Amino acid sequence: KNQVEQSPQSLIILEGKNCTLQCNYTVSPFSNLRWYKQDTGRGPVSLTIMTFSENTKSNGRYTATLDADTKQSSLHITASQLSDSASYICVVSEPGGSYIPTFGRGTSLIVHP
């Protein structure tokens, strides 16, 4: 069964600090991996999307890395802001037309002033 495991489950940091979220997956074959940010009660917003041939992708203060050999990804947030408080979800997809993505349970990030 395809699985996506995220860690930590929750994280509290001070404003201005950096943090790194982890995502390990067993999805195989692998098409792409996406990181989403979801504010409470709102729809997820895409941060990055990477295929198996990409090692890193940046979007402003967010940088995602991917190691397709070890099936690990990380999301690094630089100089955190209060608005970064949200749930961060890792989603992994298989190739092919019958598309069923596998969602991680998310990491809940709280940024304190």
Partner 1 sequence: DTEVTQTPKHLVMGMTNKKSLKCEQHMGHRAMYWYKQKAKKPPELMFVYSYEKLSINESVPSRFSPECPNSSLLNLHLHALQPEDSALYLCASSATAAYEQYFGPGTRLTVT
The site for partner 1 (CB under 8 A) is made up of 31-32, 34, 36, 41-46, 49, 89, 93-101, 103-106, 108
Note whether 65 and 76 are within 8 A (CB).
Answer: yes
Closer by beta carbon to partner 1, 99 or else 113: 99
Least Å distance, CB 49 to partner 1, is 5
At 47, list the tokens.
């941060």
Closer by beta carbon to partner 1, 41 or else 113: 41
At 110, list the tokens.
């709280």
**What does the alpha-carbon distance between residue 28 and residue 71 come to, in Å, rounded to a whole number?**
9
**What does the alpha-carbon distance between residue 59 and residue 61 come to, in Å, rounded to a whole number?**
6
Closer by beta carbon to partner 1, 18 or else 46: 46
Least Å distance, CB 16 to partner 1, is 27
Q: Which residues pair with 46 in a beta bridge?
A: 36
Least Å distance, CB 85 to partner 1, is 15
Closer by beta carbon to partner 1, 65 or else 93: 93
Least Å distance, CB 107 to partner 1, is 11
**Tally of CA atoms within 13 A in the half-sphere of 39 that contains its CB:** 5
3-state secondary structure at position 40: coil
